[in-house]
Amino acid sequence: MRLTNLLRTTVSAAVVGACAFGLAGTAAAQSQDGPTTIDDIIVTAQKREQNLQDVPIVVTSLPAETLENAGVRDIKDLQILTPGMTVTSTQSEASTTARIRGVGTVGDNPGLESSVGVVIDGVYRSRNSVGFGDLGEMSRIEVLKGPQGTLFGKNTSAGVINIITEAPSFTPGYSAEATVGNYGQMGVSGSVTGPITDQLAFRLYAGRRVRSGFYDVDTGDGPRTNTDDQNQDFITTRGQLLWLPNDNTSVRVIADYTSRDEYCCTGVQIRTGPTYPFVDGLSAGTGQRPPATGFGPLPFSRQAFANRGTGQDIKDMGVSIEANIDMPSLFGGATLTSVTSWRDWSGDIGMDIDYTGADIAYREQDGQYGYSVDNLTQELRLAGSNERLDWLVGLFATRERIGRGDSWFYGPDYTPFLSFLLSAQLNRANPALPVSPGIIGCFSRPGQTALFLQGCLAQGGTAPAGPTAATGPGFTLGQGFADFYDQESTSFAIFTNNTWHVTDQFDITLGLRYTQDDKSLDAQQRNLNGNGTTCGAFAANAAAIGGALGSASAASTIIGNACLPWSNFAYNNRNIAEDFSDGELSGTIKASYRLNESLLAYVSYARGYKSFGYNLDRVQTGITPVASLLFPSEVVDSYEAGLKMTLLDRTLLLNATYFDQTFTDFQLNTFLGTAFVVESIPELTSRGVDADFLWFTPVEGLSLSGGLTYTNTEYGDFTAADLTNPGNFPQLSLLPGSRASFAPEISASASINYDRSIGGGNRMGFSLAAKYMSEYNTGSDLLPYKMQDAFTTVNGRISIGSEDERWTLDLWAQNLTDEEYVQVAYNAPLQGSAFQSTVQAGGSHPGTYYNQALDTQTYDAYLGQPRTYGATLRFKY
């Protein structure tokens, strides 16, 4: 009966949540009263309840108390509990990326779908950023590693983060908590649940959290007034109804709303290059961190520079309806499941583009920069089982619309700053030419000649009048462009997943899924207020520039700097209309054999699929916009072989899995210095071992767990001819044969938890969770200055409260040792160059376009969070 099943499920979830705390693919004990065997760990990785040790998949199962003890409130917090997983944010919280086994999707381009799927209460979130926020009351989180497309759909080629929140209960109850911490952190939340009738129950949750920023901001020229950055200020609500109309039917309705009104994120300089004097000269104060001796790396600092605002206004809302109908007479007993969802997400963002105190370029938070995702999904599944077969068939359909707005504003320092850059370049070739803020008008003067251009440059553009005066136009002051991209997509899939119990020990699982995707793009690229005029004037004077500088290639470089994507006249009133359709068959086959009650061996093959898409940005080769913004689909072939052992009277878990994954047409989203562009890399391989353990020790209330992921994630060899756009190869020339970014060789987690009665109806406990990652590169172009050294983060908590959990006081700390590390490093726009225009015969990286001795680039970074600490008081009835 559905009511009986519900009560059984509720009890099971409560038992696991109370007794098991998980880490590295496991769950472990937390309550002194709960079960102390591995058999109590239940997962739904195959859309049915199974013991963790019976599932031939690498799964990290994390129940509610584990997440609470580790301070997990969103998916970014989750990574400390999961080896082989990293989560990073860049320009804003709307640009958040999850990676598993070194594979993931950078979140700056909304046209690019996720490699790691995020599923919340059975609803797929099509972009990682759409799934990142306060998760509220969680029942558990399951992290599935490797392709999971058969049951969880496309865009799960690297894995799935499956989140299950607390359901309504027919037992009345309420809870509340209040938190205070450093950086002005304050938070309150509460929930209430209970019956409305004997067939209808509800649950309501609401939370509000605020915190000051982690960065100190020098506002330079202004008008920014906020002197900190990466703060927190959001509210979230979630309401649920659970309806049991009869013994065979349950219907769960969930509605949620989250609003964030914050400012995030500025970067900080980790290496300041030779363009520093120009920034310094144009800004109030230094404008950025002064360079180190020899332009080497800078010491770690949270001092940022931004004269413009970095506001982010994010709204996320949705409704889902899940219905389960038991059909006892159909095929010997089957269950029909329907999941319907509508979601709407939007982000309105402001940005200081140059991340300095100088007023060079910015994006206003005026509704013209950001993106929105409107999504409607429908899934139907019919599943059943008998003694020899567990079967499942299903349909999935979705309609999605993405709207992206992009804009660009020129500050008054843009024209003189670019003039400094160009004149410094000319000065290196000819020291007689001065470095000056006034030469743009030399190049853009109508009807310019080589002779007069030489005279204008020799005077630094300071001649007051006459044929050598710099009378040409500079760049637009204020808004330069406003583009809008409208991508519509529909996707339809049919799938099946079936396990044949060949014998009591031997199982074979076969899953297949066919997906058909249709996408269209309509875009309007619009220059405003005369933007593009200066670029056009440079281009018109190409012959004069070549004559004055002595070569056409030198002229091409100068014109290229004047005709960057945001200033190129080729985007005047440019319209784009594209559409494409593609279908893909994916699936899995697994074989598992239980050698005895304590040992399961398995092998598996899976093929995953990640849909094609469009670059929703201005993309050009040279100064010519590319004809098509389309990039192809990505596929992965994955092989695994594993052992799952349950020992010591079923109190010790030891699991190990070897994996070998090959991605074809891997969708790499990289910043080319002027735009984020998706380029398909012919091949990426990820090979290694996942291992984990869990021990319910003989000591009452003490549990230990840990895990390790060894990964060798490398790009295959490729040349420019293998790329969709061969012109992107110079900036990607460090990739062939190299370890991928965000792919540490070693990622290890460990945890200890102790909780027991201290008498008088009270209990006390503590927990520690740690994560180690070996060195890795944080930039998709693998530039050496973007390397992050090996580091370890530790979270800790001490708890005291009543045995019935009516009240609990937690003293907690995140990043307990205040580890200093970089999330993502990137090239500061317009501030130097890393790659050269020709292949380097010698230097630090011969055979590529990079030579560290010639690197003039300023590098910025988004930093990891510092140590935070505080206290949380909870009440539950």
Three-state DSSP class for residue 723: coil
* Of 169, 606, 199, 221, the residue nearest 411 (C-alpha): 221
Residue 769 has pLDDT above 70, yes or no: yes
| Cα 483 from Cα 522, distance rounded (Å) | 11
Q: At a CB cut-off of 8 Å and minimum separation 6, what does 106 contact?
A: 90, 95, 97, 112, 668, 669, 670, 676, 780
Least confidently predicted of 59-68, 226-235, 280-289: 59-68
pLDDT at position 712, please?
97
| Cα 603 from Cα 643, distance rounded (Å) | 9
Sheet strand arrangement including 228-229: 228-229, 215-218, 303-305
Q: How confident is the model at residue 36 (pLDDT cuts 50, 70, 90)?
A: low
Q: Cβ distance 57 to 45 under 8 Å?
A: yes
Q: How confident is the model at residue 4 (pLDDT cuts 50, 70, 90)?
A: very low
Q: Cβ distance 114 to 132 under 8 Å?
A: no
Least confidently predicted of 42-56, 260-274, 380-394, 811-825: 42-56
Strand ranges (DSSP E) for 146-301? 159-165, 173-181, 185-195, 200-211, 215-218, 228-229, 232-246, 249-263, 268-271
Q: How confident is the model at residue 94 (pLDDT cuts 50, 70, 90)?
A: low
| Residue 265, preceding peptide bond in cis (omega within 30° of 0) | yes
Q: How confident is the model at residue 359 (pLDDT cuts 50, 70, 90)?
A: very high
pLDDT at position 130, please?
62
Least confidently predicted of 137-151, 646-660, 753-767, 850-864: 137-151
Where does residue 212 rank: exposed (0-12), middle (13-18), buried (19+ CB within 10 A)? middle
pLDDT at position 40, please?
81
Residue recorded with tokens 């007794």: 19
This prediction has a pTM of 0.92
pLDDT at position 18, please?
33
Q: At 12, phi and psi to the nearest 5?
A: -60, -45
Three-state DSSP class for residue 244: strand
- Which two tokens mark 434? 């001065």
Residue 39 has pLDDT above 90, yes or no: no
Least confidently predicted of 29-38, 272-281, 695-704, 830-839: 29-38
| Residue 437, preceding peptide bond in cis (omega within 30° of 0) | no
pLDDT at position 314, please?
92
pLDDT digits over 10-35, tens only?
333 333 333 333 333 333 333 334 34
pLDDT at position 30, please?
33
pLDDT digits over 420-452, tens only?
999 999 999 999 999 999 999 999 999 999 999
pLDDT digits over 141-175, tens only?
999 999 998 888 777 889 999 999 999 999 999 99
Three-state DSSP class for residue 549: helix
pLDDT at position 107, please?
62
pLDDT digits over 265-305, tens only?
899 999 999 999 999 999 999 999 999 999 999 999 999 99
pLDDT at position 631, please?
93
Average pLDDT of the residues in 299-320: 96
- The one-character DSSP state at 167 is P
